[in-house]
Amino acid sequence: MTNDAELALPKLALIVSDSAKAQAGARVLHDSHDWVAPQEADVLVVLGGDGFLLHVLHELLDRDAIKPVYGMNLGTVGFLMNGPLDDDAIARRVAEAHRVPVRPLCMNATTQDGQEFSYHAINEVSLLRETRQTAKLEIRINGRVRLEELAGDGILLATPVGSTAYNLSAHGPILPLGSRMVAMTPLNPFRPRRWKGAILPESAEVELRILEPGKRPVAAVADQKEVRDVATVQINATAEKELTLLFDPGFTLEERIFAEQFQV
């Protein structure tokens, strides 16, 4: 076992959600370590659930202040989080953690009136019909039309991290971490009825064009950021904004993705 003299312990900042459970956990951890301010930290320790962790990651992206993040599950699902509190060894636990790179998607959306919006998605970008009318989309990949018309509720593109979230509920494929792939999954497709989606290299440049946008309006959503009445949406993975999640040995996100694929 490596001792503290041999192991460089990182400077840690503690970021806590507003939930009562997370606040109680923070009180347990508060006196167990010499915490620093987030801007001085090597690693951010986040207490809460998956939703709060994604919120923190988006704040890092927005501020262009990307640092490794170690999540501790004091929420509900905790798929992106580590296990129970260990207040006596938090610095060692973080220092020995397994690093998982997470490359977000960049969504560039243009609305019907010409406005442009750019957002990042750690889980997925989804296009959803706004009314009872079926959405109709044209799919271009690397400048080439691959599907002239998809009719249904919409479509999503998911990262490996997001492949076990909305994508899984829509019967999309689970992607192993490190695969550098993106899942393209239709949402309740009406035509072509048998098309189940595609797995794309993350280097692919995807463009989705809305057909009959006046009659069939569509919203584009990058995680929680929504743009309504879009005309076109471009999506690609961005290496410049790569994030790092930290997981305890034997408790990695990759192992949980394997386990998810063999649930019956």
- Options 4, 31, 42, 50, the catalytic residue: 50
The letter for the amino acid at 29 is L
CATH architecture type of domain 105-239: Sandwich (2.60)
Where do the structural domains in the chain lie, given as residue ranges? 12-102+242-261, 105-239
pTM (2 d.p.): 0.84
50 annotated as ligand-binding: yes
The residue that leads in pLDDT, 171 or 9, is 171
Given a cut of 60, is residue 1 above it in pLDDT? no
Which one is the CATH code of 12-102+242-261: 3.10.180.10, 3.40.50.2300, 3.40.50.10330, 3.40.605.10?
A: 3.40.50.10330
227 annotated as ligand-binding: no
137 annotated as ligand-binding: no
Given a cut of 70, is residue 36 above it in pLDDT? yes
What is the spatial distance between Cα 192 and Cα 242, in angstroms, rounded to a whole number?
A: 35
Look at residues 207, 224, 239 and name the one whose alpha carbon lies nearest to residue 124.
224
Using pLDDT thresholds of 50, 70 and 90, give the confidence band for residue 201. Answer: very high
Query: What is the pLDDT at residue 240?
Result: 87
Given a cut of 80, is residue 62 above it in pLDDT? yes
Peptide bond into 176 cis (omega under 30): no
165 annotated as ligand-binding: yes
| Mean predicted lDDT score pLDDT of the chain | 90
| Annotation marks residue 42 as catalytic | no
